[in-house]
Structure 1
């Protein structure tokens, strides 16, 4: 009961960006809208056919379908049946693509495919054509003693044109799918997502140094359910802090997995007092309602998720079962570009103040130091026996140092030491090993 209540209440505080991300990563919204729109459009076109049935200009009539009711019915049935077949093929190809991406690269790359607008629009076109054809088909009537025959010439002609469009769409979809299966394209998509996330979470007041540990007497705020902290409604949390005259600190960043009942934040009264048990429970519930916990990470506020996606591709590429160091080198290049962009920002933990300038909310963020350590530790563990991978990792440190203007000098020095230790224990050729060790030492 506790878990379902948490999901339901937190969903009411989803930010517009969170809603857009949810809709963007689902396959059904765009096709569903297209189906409804096509049914309404088909009804309107058949009504227009009724209105112009006896007054059709000859020039227009010559361009429209000229067969009888039986021919029109056969054509519409053929269009509907073939469109369903093409749609089934498209879904099958999409599922196969998802399976390949999951098994060969990383299961966390599935969001990249499900958020592909080209796939959404292609499925919408096919299903809209099917729905339009069925809607028009039901309006075709034979001329007999009980009713006057009716053939919606405009609607049948539009159905024919839509069917031709679906054929073109299928060809374009196959070409698009072949491009999407390339690892370079997937890395580019995640890189763009990484850049967008950096722009979305690096604005505002931040500080790289702040005390996140709970002081004595602080009120612990436990997670209401288990799952990933996928979103923090910052404005709602600031209002809660002002309402209870509190200072709220979220010690876990978005993207961390929370366990129900385990504290992930704390609150203190600004004047050093204590809340009653009833007020404390209200505060806990209000903070819980200001966060969203789910079972799938996303990149709305979690800057570590795109890094993990690219890093998964890199680590899997250098696994003994794959042995593809080229892909790992390319992935490290994308990571270097993203981390360099992050290094240029004034990174730190999110701080929010009220209208009087009083600190009210602190939200922990994944900083440049945390992400650089994640990348270096993973590659040092799995890939230092390959000279190209080792050389690219050393280049990554040099490139990020070039872009951080000396703000993260100690962080870079520590990671250079980590790389040097990994190089010393690697199976590299002594010449390559000595060269890379000298490069590491030169930057310390």
Structure 2
């Protein structure tokens, strides 16, 4: 729920409006209470006009802020449309979760609301009640208006920087790294016995028996997060082993299997235990309408691959952006390889495996990074060269089991090059690069033939 709210535009502006109403009601009361006891030096810095002037100022502030807010919202929507059409719909969360955009909208709406709220307290001598000008409140409105002008200029500068594809890819990369550091180190710490619930990668995960109880998804949507403590507690109480066969980012359909459970010591579940276990598992798995980076370590790679593929489409035809996106994908892939992704095992106090959570392994992640770019960039030598360099960079990570993955990817890349009608010089340079990559797993380095 917290991650969902973080990616919404409305919570912070709504909070700003609420605070503005409170301030717009409270400050005029303070004005009325201290207007005769205010020091003379302070009066010099406060609004000094009459009631008509105060109304004019507040009306001008409220009217101008409506226009500015509409402009800001229009620019934000235009940016979202541009990002969705030219880059990827999955990068929209980067903009909607941008605190600068949310804070700017909150300030503008708060200033507008505050000015309207204070306006209702201004009284002239012609009114039925005695005249009243809330000097402090009008001064605060004036300061908020000046701040809004400054923030508008900064917002336009920020927006111009954010719509650049390089900034966008850097934001995706940074968010993905935070997710990796948040999710995968839990496994490493658990192996040392410092995390709760205990987890890690020690030993092979247990395989479910043929008569295992299927665990059904409780709701349709994308798997966004898994409550590990709740799953472990349910498995221990039922003396069972649970397998969640779908990882964060996967699509779940209500009423279809997402995993299995079976008694730890064999035999059937006691009456009602299986149903309680299945219900607890369904409640521990959260779904949403879209993928998030809460626990999805592959989400950043998915976004970067989308940007790569979109850049290679005939409507965009921007291989340079595709090459840059592949560079970010290579950095994330190497980071993931060093952290040993794969199934996460949760253990009880006696170090017995109770829950197996599937995570993307290196084969899944490598395929995500190179399969689609290789297909859609098959006729662009620069893209194929960058994919070859990605494989070479991946080869330099000291990761067990990487060699078969590299060999398979190099075989696909070589077949892709063979199928294209490249110039002989381009073909020669690509094959020289492949030879350079093939030497990397053995620790042999030589200058790359393609920069």
State the TM bucket, normalised to the shorter chain. Answer: over 0.9
1:33 matched to 2:33? The reply is: no
In structure 2, the partner of 1:347 is 341
Match of 2:146 among 160, 164, 171: 164
In structure 2, the partner of 1:7 is none
Question: Aligned ranges for residues 31-430 of structure 1 at < 5 Å?
Answer: 31-144=13-126, 146-203=128-185, 204=187, 205-207=199-201, 210-211=204-205, 214-276=208-270, 278-405=272-399, 407-430=401-424
Do 1:332 and 1:396's aligned partners in 2 also have CA atoms closer than 8 Å? yes
Partner of 2:296, secondary structure, is coil
The 2-side partners of 1:439 and 1:92 are apart by: 47
Deviations 1:87-139 (A, max 9, x none): 11111111111111111111111111100111000001101101111111111
The 2-side partners of 1:87 and 1:122 are apart by: 9
Do 1:209 and 1:348's aligned partners in 2 also have CA atoms closer than 8 Å? no
The 2-side partners of 1:427 and 1:225 are apart by: 49
Relative distance call for 1:398 and 1:324 in structure 2 (3 A) is same
The 2-side partners of 1:391 and 1:181 are apart by: 27
Aligned Cα root-mean-square deviation (Å):
1.7
The 2-side partners of 1:365 and 1:259 are apart by: 19
Identify unmatched segments of 5+ residues in structure 2.
188-198, 439-451
Of residues 287-296 and 409-418 in structure 1, the stretch that sits farther from structure 2 once superposed is 409-418
Deviations 1:339-383 (A, max 9, x none): 111111122211100111111001000122211112221112110
Q: What is the CA distance between 1:406 and its match in structure 2?
A: 5.2
Relative distance call for 1:212 and 1:317 in structure 2 (3 A) is farther
The 2-side partners of 1:298 and 1:229 are apart by: 9
In structure 1, the partner of 2:448 is none
Of residues 257-266 and 95-104 in structure 1, the stretch that sits farther from structure 2 once superposed is 257-266
Deviations 1:163-200 (A, max 9, x none): 11111111111111111110001000000011011112
Partner of 1:235, secondary structure, is helix
Identify unmatched segments of 5+ residues in structure 1.
1-18
Do 2:385 and 2:433's aligned partners in 1 also have CA atoms closer than 8 Å? no
Do 1:340 and 1:400's aligned partners in 2 also have CA atoms closer than 8 Å? yes
Partner of 1:336, secondary structure, is helix
In structure 2, the partner of 1:4 is none
Deviations 1:414-438 (A, max 9, x none): 2111111111112322222233224
Q: What is the CA distance between 1:213 and its match in structure 2?
A: 5.3
Do 1:213 and 1:251's aligned partners in 2 also have CA atoms closer than 8 Å? no
Q: What is the CA distance between 1:277 and its match in structure 2?
A: 5.7
Relative distance call for 1:387 and 1:196 in structure 2 (3 A) is same
In structure 2, the partner of 1:5 is none
The 2-side partners of 1:416 and 1:32 are apart by: 53
Do 1:231 and 1:293's aligned partners in 2 also have CA atoms closer than 8 Å? yes
Do 1:206 and 1:348's aligned partners in 2 also have CA atoms closer than 8 Å? no
Do 1:206 and 1:346's aligned partners in 2 also have CA atoms closer than 8 Å? no
The 1-side partners of 2:300 and 2:203 are apart by: 24
The runs of 4+ residues in structure 1 deviating greater than 3 Å are: 208-214, 404-407, 441-444
Deviations 1:379-401 (A, max 9, x none): 12110211111111111111111
The 1-side partners of 2:139 and 2:304 are apart by: 48
The 2-side partners of 1:168 and 1:336 are apart by: 39
Deviations 1:136-166 (A, max 9, x none): 1111111247421110001101101111111
Count of residue correspondences: 426
The 2-side partners of 1:163 and 1:30 are apart by: 19
Q: TM-score, normalised by structure 1?
A: 0.92
The 2-side partners of 1:442 and 1:188 are apart by: 28
Q: What is the CA distance between 1:208 and its match in structure 2?
A: 8.7
